[in-house]
Amino acid sequence: MATLRSWREIPHGGVAFRLSTDVKTGDWRALRPVIDQSKCTKCMICWLFCPDMSIIWDGEKVFVNYDYCKGCGICAHECPVKAITMVPEVRE
Ligand code: SF4
Ligand code: SF4
């Protein structure tokens, strides 16, 4: 059974003191969504469901803004034609 602790005993968490547009919050992503452009019908359902507004439509194709995408996989789950695949994030 978990031991109850007061707020004074809880470890400090991270807080971003700058605008979210200044802080690249996608850097802890473990999985990366990759869109297969040959399958994408540009229905924008992924845009509708993305909780981070990381799906972009540039007038020609749909792509992911990896600066902010958290890799939650909701877009891949909701894509009706399964054009999005979640792949392991690789960092150099
Ligand atoms: S939901 Fe799938 S088909 Fe629709 S725009 Fe997104 S990637 Fe393309
Ligand atoms: S993985 Fe999550 S945060 Fe990233 S584009 Fe898809 S829905 Fe948005």
Q: Return the residue whose CA atom lies nearest to atom 8 of ligand 2.
A: 50
Tell me: the pLDDT tens digits for 80-89? 999 999 999 9
Q: How many CA atoms lie within 13 A of 75 on its CB side?
A: 32
Q: Could you give the CA distance from residue 55 to residue 78 in angstroms, rounded to a whole number? A: 13
Tell me: the pLDDT tens digits for 20-69? 677 888 888 999 999 999 999 999 999 999 999 999 999 999 999 999 99
Domain 31-92 CATH assignment equals 3.90.226.10: no
CB atoms within 10 A of CB 64: 21
**Three-state DSSP class for residue 78:** helix
CA of 62 from ligand 2 middle (Å) equals: 13
CB atoms within 10 A of CB 20: 10
Residue ranges per domain, the chain?
A: 31-92
Ligand 1 closest atom vs CA 43: 4
> In the prediction, which pLDDT does 5 show?
83
Confidence of residue 18 (pLDDT cuts 50, 70, 90): confident
Q: Could you give the CA distance from residue 31 to residue 41 in angstroms, rounded to a whole number? A: 23
Contacts of 66 (CB under 8 A, 6+ apart): 26, 29, 32, 54
- Full-model pTM: 0.82
